[in-house]
Amino acid sequence: MCHYRGQRTTCQETGERASRPGAERGLRVMFMDGESGTNTDDPAIPGLFERNPVSLTPAEVAAASRPPLTMIGNRLRETNANAPLSAAQSLVLSQLTTTDSMPITELAAADGRAISTMTEIVGRLTSAGLVVKRGGVEDRRQVRVAITAEGRRALEDNQRLRNQTLTERIAALSDQERAALAAALPALWKVAEIDPVAWPRVHPRSERRRRRTTR
């Protein structure tokens, strides 16, 4: 069910998926445990912070980055529980802000969901007045979805709330630490396989997998 009241939507959905000293210090901070502020229990991780970042292998970087990325993901999921929109709804609305309308098949492909699941998500957004459907009278495969003004407002509210969680933590970092984090942004976007120039549009997951295998 999905209910939109004022600026809040509550939903339940199926299917919801040359080193510099400053840089080294930033790595230490970013690879710390989110709760205790100490290194994680992984015995392979503590020694990595004393090494030149350039010398770390992909496996070592993965081992050291997984704990903080997991903790950040957990924090964002906790925030999402109280956010106006679910993660799936937010992604759909974000996609729709980049174009006049999109077919459900493209929305499903971008999020890696079954068309039936995406149809349910779009149906809830439609009931909440956040999107409208166009066409498809004779062929449901031709149904296109467009975001409404109410949908744009809901998306902006949702993004503001979700950004706040990270903003507060990043604001607590030193200037050097923030600079180290900012320097890592291009690599993070590349690891996530999303294009900052095209964002919020994302390539279908099948295309992202194909690009990864052809590198």
Residue the block writes with tokens 């956040």: 130
Q: How confident is the model at residue 83 (pLDDT cuts 50, 70, 90)?
A: confident
Question: What's the per-residue H, E or C state across 107-127?
Answer: HHHHHCCCHHHHHHHHHHHHH
Name which residue leads in pLDDT, 135 or 144: 144
| E strand or H helix that includes residue 59 | helix 58-81
pTM of the model: 0.65
DSSP letters for 129-192? TSEEEE--SS-GGG-EEEE-HHHHHHHHHHHHHHHHHHHHHHHTS-HHHHHHHHHTHHHHHHHT
pLDDT one-digit tens code per residue, 141-179: 678 999 999 999 999 999 998 899 899 999 999 999 999
Minimal CA–CA distance to 98: which of 51, 44, 152?
Answer: 152
CATH of the structural domain 87-201, one choice from 3.40.718.10, 3.40.50.720, 1.10.10.10, 3.20.20.450: 1.10.10.10
Name which residue leads in pLDDT, 55 or 8: 55
pLDDT of residue 36: 40
pLDDT of residue 137: 54
Looking at residue 53, the DSSP 8-state letter turns out to be: G
Residue 68: count of CB within 10 angstroms of its CB:
16
pLDDT of residue 103: 93
On average, the pLDDT of the chain sits at: 78
pLDDT of residue 42: 55
pLDDT one-digit tens code per residue, 1-25: 444 444 444 444 444 433 334 444 4
Q: How confident is the model at residue 80 (pLDDT cuts 50, 70, 90)?
A: confident
Minimal CA–CA distance to 12: which of 128, 106, 99, 148?
Answer: 128
Minimal CA–CA distance to 65: which of 53, 78, 79?
Answer: 53
- Please state the domain extents for the chain: 87-201
pLDDT of residue 175: 97
Q: Structure tokens of 150?
A: 């109410």
CA 170 to chain centre: 17
Mean pLDDT of 107-121: 92
